Amino acid sequence: MFFMAEFELFESEGAILALPFGLEGGTEAPTTEEAAAMAADWLRGEVEHWLMTGTRLPSPPLGNVPLRGGRVCIVGVSCSLEAIDTMTASEAAQALGVSRPRISQMIKSGRLEGFTRGHATFVTTASVRARLAEPPRPGRPRRQPEPLHA
């Protein structure tokens, strides 16, 4: 699916901010070119999240005029559930050294990003890598995690 939104790019405190019209959030970067690229990355992440959670995609307004003295930039991204880098819940459990039911709990609590398609549950590889990068918390020791392959 292809999704399009307009962003206003404007300077603020030495950075270029990219704020979307009709959507919550945004991003910033040191240059206009980087801000436009970051806006595309931000938009892709939002669309992927909406697809994973089954959220109805909004229809942001087009034909906007700058509100903060910046420039309007149209950003389009192509996204699909199949294009998201994922692993099965069982693979995620093995990588994190936890049980398969714990993975489901972690998805429901927002500690991992994932979605269900049919009877299969998938977890984003990025969320597993981020979880592995976190320092271990005190409490019950977990099994030794499996190394993640690139």
- What the chain holds in terms of domains, given with CATH numbers, is 2-81 (3.30.160.250), 85-133 (1.10.1660.10)
Which SS3 state, helix, strand or coil, does residue 109 take? coil
The H or E element containing residue 120 is: strand 120-124
pTM for the structure as a whole? 0.80
Give the residue from 113, 99, 109, 87 showing the smallest Cα distance to 143.
99
Res. 136 pLDDT band, cuts 50 70 90: confident
Q: Provide the percentage of residues in the chain whose pLDDT is more than 90.
A: 83
CA distance 109 to 116: 15
pLDDT at 43 over 70: yes
Q: Looking up tokens 């509100």, which residue turns up?
A: 67
